Amino acid sequence: MAGTSDPGGRRTAEDAENTGPRAHPQGRTEQLFGVRRHEQVRQEGAHWNPGYMLAGPSSIGLDGRPTAAAATVLMDNATAVAVHHAAAGAMQAIVTTELTLNVLKPMPAFDASADADPADQPRMECWYTPLTVDEAGGAARAWLVDADGDRVAEATGWFQAVPAAPAASMEAFVRHGGLPLGPQTRVPMADLLGLEPDSVTVQDDTSRPAQSGEFVPGARFRENRELDNPQGAVHGGAMMLRAILAAQGAMPDRARYDVQAARTVYTRPGRGDMVAMTRVRHAGRSLRFVDVELVPLGEDGSPVVDKPMVQVQVTFRAARG
Protein backbone atom coordinates (compact mmCIF):
# COMPACT_ATOMS: atom_id res chain seq x y z
CA MET A 1 0.00 0.00 0.00
CA ALA A 2 2.60 2.54 -0.82
CA GLY A 3 5.71 2.81 1.21
CA THR A 4 3.50 2.17 4.17
CA SER A 5 0.87 -0.41 4.89
CA ASP A 6 -2.07 0.21 7.19
CA PRO A 7 -5.02 -2.06 7.89
CA GLY A 8 -7.64 0.63 7.29
CA GLY A 9 -10.15 -2.18 6.88
CA ARG A 10 -7.52 -4.32 5.18
CA ARG A 11 -7.45 -7.63 7.06
CA THR A 12 -7.88 -9.64 10.23
CA ALA A 13 -6.22 -12.80 11.54
CA GLU A 14 -9.14 -14.80 10.19
CA ASP A 15 -8.59 -13.29 6.74
CA ALA A 16 -4.95 -14.35 6.82
CA GLU A 17 -5.93 -17.96 7.48
CA ASN A 18 -8.78 -18.22 5.02
CA THR A 19 -8.60 -15.75 2.20
CA GLY A 20 -5.18 -14.10 1.98
CA PRO A 21 -4.91 -10.33 1.51
CA ARG A 22 -8.23 -8.57 1.88
CA ALA A 23 -9.61 -5.80 -0.34
CA HIS A 24 -8.64 -2.26 0.71
CA PRO A 25 -8.68 1.17 -0.92
CA GLN A 26 -6.05 1.20 -3.66
CA GLY A 27 -3.65 4.11 -3.50
CA ARG A 28 -3.48 6.80 -6.15
CA THR A 29 0.22 6.16 -6.75
CA GLU A 30 -0.40 2.51 -7.60
CA GLN A 31 -3.18 3.46 -9.98
CA LEU A 32 -1.02 6.06 -11.78
CA PHE A 33 1.75 3.51 -12.28
CA GLY A 34 -0.45 0.84 -13.80
CA VAL A 35 -0.96 -1.37 -10.74
CA ARG A 36 -4.19 -3.36 -10.81
CA ARG A 37 -5.58 -5.91 -8.34
CA HIS A 38 -7.13 -9.29 -9.06
CA GLU A 39 -10.60 -9.84 -7.67
CA GLN A 40 -9.37 -13.17 -6.33
CA VAL A 41 -5.82 -13.59 -5.04
CA ARG A 42 -4.12 -16.69 -6.46
CA GLN A 43 -1.83 -18.83 -4.28
CA GLU A 44 0.83 -21.35 -5.25
CA GLY A 45 2.47 -22.76 -2.14
CA ALA A 46 4.04 -19.86 -0.23
CA HIS A 47 3.70 -17.52 -3.23
CA TRP A 48 0.79 -15.13 -3.72
CA ASN A 49 -0.41 -13.35 -6.86
CA PRO A 50 -2.45 -10.30 -5.72
CA GLY A 51 -2.36 -8.26 -8.93
CA TYR A 52 -0.50 -7.14 -12.00
CA MET A 53 1.04 -4.13 -13.71
CA LEU A 54 0.17 -2.59 -17.06
CA ALA A 55 2.98 -0.91 -18.99
CA GLY A 56 2.22 2.59 -20.22
CA PRO A 57 3.50 6.17 -20.34
CA SER A 58 4.29 5.98 -16.61
CA SER A 59 6.95 3.38 -17.49
CA ILE A 60 8.91 5.91 -19.59
CA GLY A 61 12.06 7.12 -17.84
CA LEU A 62 13.88 10.41 -18.13
CA ASP A 63 15.73 9.18 -21.23
CA GLY A 64 12.46 8.69 -23.13
CA ARG A 65 12.68 4.89 -23.03
CA PRO A 66 10.63 2.36 -21.09
CA THR A 67 12.21 0.92 -17.95
CA ALA A 68 11.16 -1.92 -15.69
CA ALA A 69 12.33 0.30 -12.83
CA ALA A 70 8.75 1.62 -13.01
CA ALA A 71 7.83 -1.58 -11.17
CA THR A 72 9.30 -0.02 -8.02
CA VAL A 73 5.85 1.26 -6.99
CA LEU A 74 4.34 -2.21 -7.28
CA MET A 75 7.33 -3.87 -5.61
CA ASP A 76 7.07 -1.56 -2.61
CA ASN A 77 3.36 -2.22 -2.36
CA ALA A 78 3.59 -5.98 -2.82
CA THR A 79 6.36 -6.55 -0.27
CA ALA A 80 4.47 -4.41 2.27
CA VAL A 81 1.27 -6.40 1.71
CA ALA A 82 3.25 -9.65 2.06
CA VAL A 83 4.56 -8.64 5.48
CA HIS A 84 1.10 -7.50 6.61
CA HIS A 85 -0.35 -10.78 5.36
CA ALA A 86 2.22 -12.86 7.25
CA ALA A 87 1.72 -10.79 10.41
CA ALA A 88 -1.92 -11.94 10.51
CA GLY A 89 -3.24 -8.69 11.99
CA ALA A 90 -0.50 -8.34 14.63
CA MET A 91 0.67 -4.96 13.32
CA GLN A 92 -1.36 -1.77 13.05
CA ALA A 93 0.75 -0.41 10.19
CA ILE A 94 4.22 -0.71 8.69
CA VAL A 95 6.57 1.63 6.86
CA THR A 96 9.36 0.79 4.42
CA THR A 97 12.88 0.93 5.86
CA GLU A 98 14.78 -0.54 2.92
CA LEU A 99 13.94 -1.60 -0.64
CA THR A 100 16.30 -3.26 -3.11
CA LEU A 101 15.29 -3.56 -6.76
CA ASN A 102 16.90 -5.59 -9.55
CA VAL A 103 15.83 -5.01 -13.17
CA LEU A 104 16.29 -8.34 -14.90
CA LYS A 105 15.16 -7.68 -18.47
CA PRO A 106 13.60 -4.94 -20.60
CA MET A 107 9.89 -4.35 -20.54
CA PRO A 108 7.88 -5.84 -23.40
CA ALA A 109 7.37 -3.45 -26.32
CA PHE A 110 4.23 -1.32 -26.11
CA ASP A 111 2.49 1.78 -27.41
CA ALA A 112 3.44 4.57 -24.97
CA SER A 113 1.15 7.22 -26.42
CA ALA A 114 -1.37 8.83 -24.07
CA ASP A 115 -4.33 7.72 -26.21
CA ALA A 116 -3.32 4.05 -26.39
CA ASP A 117 -5.90 1.64 -24.99
CA PRO A 118 -4.65 0.37 -21.59
CA ALA A 119 -6.32 -2.96 -22.37
CA ASP A 120 -3.79 -3.43 -25.18
CA GLN A 121 -0.73 -2.77 -23.00
CA PRO A 122 1.55 -5.58 -21.79
CA ARG A 123 0.38 -7.12 -18.55
CA MET A 124 2.95 -8.38 -16.06
CA GLU A 125 1.84 -10.47 -13.09
CA CYS A 126 3.14 -9.74 -9.60
CA TRP A 127 4.00 -12.44 -7.08
CA TYR A 128 5.19 -12.14 -3.49
CA THR A 129 6.32 -14.29 -0.60
CA PRO A 130 7.00 -13.28 3.02
CA LEU A 131 10.54 -13.91 4.27
CA THR A 132 10.46 -13.09 7.98
CA VAL A 133 8.09 -11.39 10.42
CA ASP A 134 8.40 -10.50 14.12
CA GLU A 135 6.89 -7.94 16.47
CA ALA A 136 9.15 -5.18 15.07
CA GLY A 137 8.38 -5.68 11.39
CA GLY A 138 9.52 -8.02 8.66
CA ALA A 139 10.78 -8.60 5.14
CA ALA A 140 9.34 -9.98 1.91
CA ARG A 141 10.27 -10.59 -1.70
CA ALA A 142 8.23 -9.74 -4.81
CA TRP A 143 8.74 -10.21 -8.53
CA LEU A 144 7.14 -9.28 -11.83
CA VAL A 145 6.60 -11.87 -14.59
CA ASP A 146 5.93 -11.17 -18.27
CA ALA A 147 3.67 -13.11 -20.64
CA ASP A 148 6.51 -15.57 -21.41
CA GLY A 149 6.91 -16.39 -17.72
CA ASP A 150 10.25 -14.56 -17.43
CA ARG A 151 11.00 -12.36 -14.44
CA VAL A 152 11.23 -8.71 -15.47
CA ALA A 153 12.10 -7.28 -12.03
CA GLU A 154 12.36 -8.44 -8.45
CA ALA A 155 12.71 -6.72 -5.10
CA THR A 156 13.26 -7.32 -1.41
CA GLY A 157 11.62 -4.97 1.09
CA TRP A 158 12.15 -4.48 4.82
CA PHE A 159 9.47 -2.89 7.00
CA GLN A 160 9.05 -1.53 10.53
CA ALA A 161 5.86 -1.68 12.59
CA VAL A 162 4.35 1.74 13.44
CA PRO A 163 1.06 3.02 14.92
CA ALA A 164 -2.00 3.22 12.68
CA ALA A 165 -2.18 6.17 10.28
CA PRO A 166 -3.88 9.37 11.52
CA ALA A 167 -7.51 9.55 10.44
CA ALA A 168 -6.99 12.74 8.42
CA SER A 169 -4.14 11.32 6.31
CA MET A 170 -6.03 8.06 5.76
CA GLU A 171 -9.08 10.02 4.60
CA ALA A 172 -6.90 11.98 2.16
CA PHE A 173 -5.35 8.73 0.91
CA VAL A 174 -8.79 7.23 0.22
CA ARG A 175 -10.00 10.46 -1.40
CA HIS A 176 -7.02 10.62 -3.76
CA GLY A 177 -7.51 6.96 -4.60
CA GLY A 178 -11.02 7.77 -5.81
CA LEU A 179 -9.89 10.40 -8.32
CA PRO A 180 -10.54 9.54 -11.97
CA LEU A 181 -7.91 8.28 -14.37
CA GLY A 182 -7.78 9.68 -17.89
CA PRO A 183 -5.54 11.16 -20.59
CA GLN A 184 -4.20 13.75 -18.14
CA THR A 185 -2.81 10.95 -15.96
CA ARG A 186 -1.31 8.93 -18.84
CA VAL A 187 1.96 10.85 -18.90
CA PRO A 188 5.65 9.93 -18.48
CA MET A 189 7.12 9.06 -15.12
CA ALA A 190 8.83 12.44 -14.66
CA ASP A 191 5.53 14.30 -14.98
CA LEU A 192 3.76 12.05 -12.49
CA LEU A 193 6.57 12.52 -9.97
CA GLY A 194 6.65 16.33 -10.24
CA LEU A 195 10.13 16.66 -11.76
CA GLU A 196 11.19 20.21 -12.63
CA PRO A 197 12.47 19.79 -16.23
CA ASP A 198 15.14 22.49 -15.96
CA SER A 199 16.75 20.83 -12.93
CA VAL A 200 18.47 17.98 -14.84
CA THR A 201 21.38 18.00 -17.26
CA VAL A 202 20.60 18.34 -20.96
CA GLN A 203 20.65 14.96 -22.69
CA ASP A 204 23.78 14.55 -24.83
CA ASP A 205 24.90 11.06 -25.88
CA THR A 206 28.46 12.28 -26.52
CA SER A 207 29.06 13.73 -23.05
CA ARG A 208 30.12 11.59 -20.10
CA PRO A 209 29.28 12.79 -16.55
CA ALA A 210 32.09 13.97 -14.31
CA GLN A 211 32.88 11.74 -11.34
CA SER A 212 32.84 13.45 -7.96
CA GLY A 213 33.45 12.67 -4.33
CA GLU A 214 30.99 15.37 -3.30
CA PHE A 215 27.21 15.61 -3.54
CA VAL A 216 25.84 18.40 -5.71
CA PRO A 217 22.24 19.64 -6.10
CA GLY A 218 20.41 17.95 -8.95
CA ALA A 219 16.80 17.18 -9.83
CA ARG A 220 14.04 19.09 -8.03
CA PHE A 221 10.55 17.73 -7.37
CA ARG A 222 7.34 19.63 -6.67
CA GLU A 223 5.04 18.52 -3.87
CA ASN A 224 2.14 16.36 -5.05
CA ARG A 225 -0.15 15.15 -2.28
CA GLU A 226 -1.69 12.56 -4.61
CA LEU A 227 1.53 10.58 -4.13
CA ASP A 228 1.04 10.36 -0.36
CA ASN A 229 0.61 7.07 1.49
CA PRO A 230 -1.84 6.58 4.41
CA GLN A 231 0.70 8.11 6.81
CA GLY A 232 0.69 11.39 4.87
CA ALA A 233 4.20 10.96 3.43
CA VAL A 234 5.26 10.30 -0.17
CA HIS A 235 4.84 6.68 -1.29
CA GLY A 236 8.07 4.72 -0.81
CA GLY A 237 8.05 3.55 -4.43
CA ALA A 238 7.57 7.12 -5.67
CA MET A 239 10.51 8.29 -3.54
CA MET A 240 12.72 5.58 -5.00
CA LEU A 241 11.63 6.44 -8.55
CA ARG A 242 12.42 10.10 -7.91
CA ALA A 243 15.92 9.07 -6.90
CA ILE A 244 16.30 6.91 -10.02
CA LEU A 245 15.22 9.83 -12.22
CA ALA A 246 17.68 12.09 -10.39
CA ALA A 247 20.46 9.57 -11.04
CA GLN A 248 19.51 9.49 -14.72
CA GLY A 249 19.41 13.28 -14.73
CA ALA A 250 23.01 13.43 -13.51
CA MET A 251 24.17 11.62 -16.68
CA PRO A 252 23.92 13.58 -19.95
CA ASP A 253 24.45 10.33 -21.90
CA ARG A 254 21.66 8.55 -19.99
CA ALA A 255 20.00 7.20 -23.16
CA ARG A 256 22.97 4.82 -23.50
CA TYR A 257 22.43 3.22 -20.08
CA ASP A 258 19.70 1.09 -18.51
CA VAL A 259 18.83 0.92 -14.82
CA GLN A 260 20.28 -2.32 -13.47
CA ALA A 261 19.62 -2.07 -9.74
CA ALA A 262 18.79 0.35 -6.94
CA ARG A 263 19.00 0.13 -3.16
CA THR A 264 17.07 2.60 -1.02
CA VAL A 265 17.25 3.24 2.71
CA TYR A 266 14.34 5.29 4.09
CA THR A 267 15.53 7.55 6.90
CA ARG A 268 12.70 10.12 7.23
CA PRO A 269 9.17 10.57 5.86
CA GLY A 270 9.20 12.33 2.49
CA ARG A 271 7.13 15.52 2.45
CA GLY A 272 6.97 18.81 0.57
CA ASP A 273 9.16 20.08 -2.25
CA MET A 274 12.49 18.29 -2.39
CA VAL A 275 15.80 18.27 -4.22
CA ALA A 276 18.13 15.40 -5.07
CA MET A 277 21.73 15.66 -3.97
CA THR A 278 23.66 13.49 -6.44
CA ARG A 279 27.17 12.07 -6.67
CA VAL A 280 28.46 10.17 -9.71
CA ARG A 281 30.84 7.68 -8.10
CA HIS A 282 31.79 5.81 -11.26
CA ALA A 283 31.21 6.72 -14.92
CA GLY A 284 32.64 3.77 -16.84
CA ARG A 285 31.76 2.67 -20.34
CA SER A 286 29.80 -0.40 -19.20
CA LEU A 287 28.77 0.47 -15.62
CA ARG A 288 27.69 3.60 -13.79
CA PHE A 289 27.18 4.12 -10.03
CA VAL A 290 25.26 7.16 -8.81
CA ASP A 291 24.43 8.04 -5.20
CA VAL A 292 21.31 10.10 -4.49
CA GLU A 293 19.91 11.68 -1.33
CA LEU A 294 16.49 13.33 -1.48
CA VAL A 295 16.44 16.25 0.94
CA PRO A 296 13.86 18.93 1.85
CA LEU A 297 14.18 22.58 0.98
CA GLY A 298 14.68 25.16 3.72
CA GLU A 299 12.73 28.39 4.09
CA ASP A 300 15.33 30.13 1.90
CA GLY A 301 14.92 27.50 -0.83
CA SER A 302 18.29 25.87 -0.22
CA PRO A 303 18.74 22.10 0.35
CA VAL A 304 18.73 20.90 3.95
CA VAL A 305 21.55 18.45 3.32
CA ASP A 306 21.79 17.07 6.85
CA LYS A 307 18.24 15.65 6.77
CA PRO A 308 18.02 13.20 3.87
CA MET A 309 14.68 11.44 3.49
CA VAL A 310 16.13 8.58 1.46
CA GLN A 311 19.64 7.46 0.61
CA VAL A 312 19.83 5.60 -2.70
CA GLN A 313 22.50 3.81 -4.72
CA VAL A 314 21.63 3.35 -8.41
CA THR A 315 23.57 1.11 -10.79
CA PHE A 316 23.32 1.46 -14.57
CA ARG A 317 24.56 -0.87 -17.27
CA ALA A 318 25.28 -0.10 -20.92
CA ALA A 319 22.11 -0.54 -22.97
CA ARG A 320 21.98 -3.65 -25.13
CA GLY A 321 20.74 -3.53 -28.70
**Dihedral sign for Cα atoms in the order 301, 305, 311, 312:** positive
User: Which tens digit of pLDDT belongs to each residue from 181-204?
Assistant: 988 899 999 999 999 999 999 999
**What does 96-133 look like in DSSP terms, one character per residue?**
EEEEEEEE-SPPPP---STTS-GGGS-EEEEEEEEEEE
Query: Could you tell me the pTM of the whole model?
Result: 0.92
What value does the mean pLDDT take over residues 40-49?
92
Q: Is the pLDDT of residue 9 over 70?
A: no
pLDDT digits (tens, 9 = 90+) for 58-86: 999 999 999 999 999 999 999 999 999 89
The HSE-up count of residue 244 (CA atoms within 13 Å, CB side) is 36
On average, the pLDDT of the chain sits at: 90
Give the residue from 175, 227, 211, 205 showing the smallest Cα distance to 283.
211
pLDDT of 15 higher than 70: no
Please check whether residue 194 is in contact with residue 223, taking contact to mean a CB–CB distance below 8 angstroms.
yes
pLDDT digits (tens, 9 = 90+) for 89-129: 889 899 999 999 999 999 888 888 878 887 888 999 999 99
Tell me if residue 132 falls in helix, strand or coil: strand
- d(CA 73, CA 278) in angstroms, rounded, equals 22
Angle between helices 236-249 and 72-87 (to 10 degrees): 150
The answer to whether 59 touches 34, Cβ cutoff 8 Å, is yes
For position 26, what pLDDT does the model report? 84
Domains belonging to the chain, first-starting first, are 4-162 (3.10.129.10), 186-318 (3.10.129.10)
